[in-house]
Amino acid sequence: MSSGFIIAVDGPAASGKGTVATGLGKAYGLPVLDTGLLYRAVGVLTQRAGRDLDDAAAAATTASGLSAGLLDDPAFRTRAAGEAASRVAVHPQVRQALLAFQRDFAGQPGGAVLDGRDIGTVIAPAAPAKLFVTAAAEVRAERRWKQLAGQGEPVAFEDVLADIRIRDARDSGRDSAPLARAPDAVLLDTSQMSIDEAADAARRIVEAARARWEAS
């Protein structure tokens, strides 16, 4: 891996990690990869190919054929895509097929920001800046509920909360690269924070990490 400044942002669904990652990318002039989008694409494209999400080999074949140019589809941002992503993400073969793409992105000479579930633990364990962004399940469900309504996909709040709980349990409980805070990741609980407050808090954490990294 290169010696670029890598910022790893992990956390559960709708914790604010995507917003935090985008803000950090702008602040430091670094490219940002939303790794959840890779799993969402694999889920949706596997279904479109008429294959079962539990079919690890079929999902891994989809993952191997993925390229950056395929990631723009708005269908990957839907509620169903999040659920499909979490189901294909349990397969070690799928994770393995997406590893090189993510490590290459992280290894860009100037550095990069990646957000996901296993960036600080598996993809870039040596990243000099690691955040674990979280929030109470009810708060995350409310954010996701508003986001889905804004996308023209109105859903009952209780259903979104149930989705979040199922996804948390599946992502944290799987054997392969489960959602977990790296021991050296700084915890950022955004439950009581506005978007701007979360972005500022993340910036302070990364500033401190950058100072240590520059001094090392």
Least distance between ligand C5P and beta carbon 61 (Å): 18
Q: Which is nearer to ligand C5P, 86 or 207 (CB)?
A: 86
Least distance between ligand C5P and beta carbon 159 (Å): 16
Q: Which is nearer to ligand C5P, 35 or 134 (CB)?
A: 35
Q: Compute the C-alpha angle 112/118/121, nearest 5°.
A: 90
Least distance between ligand C5P and beta carbon 35 (Å): 4
Least distance between ligand C5P and beta carbon 214 (Å): 27
How far is Cα 39 from Cα 179, in angstroms, rounded to an integer?
14
The continuous run of DSSP H or E covering 41 comes out as: helix 35-48
What six digits make up the tokens of 75? 């269908």
The continuous run of DSSP H or E covering 33 comes out as: strand 32-34
φ/ψ (deg, to 5) at 16? 105, 5
Q: Which is nearer to ligand C5P, 16 or 82 (CB)?
A: 82
Beta bridge mates, 9? 115, 131
Q: Which is nearer to ligand C5P, 30 or 124 (CB)?
A: 124
Q: What type of residue sits at position 172?
A: S
Strand ranges (DSSP E) for 49-200? 111-116, 129-134, 186-189
Least distance between ligand C5P and beta carbon 116 (Å): 2
How far is Cα 186 from Cα 182, in angstroms, rounded to an integer?
9
Which residues are near ligand C5P by CB under 6 A?
13, 35-36, 39-40, 82, 85-86, 89, 116-118, 167, 171
Q: Which is nearer to ligand C5P, 40 or 143 (CB)?
A: 40
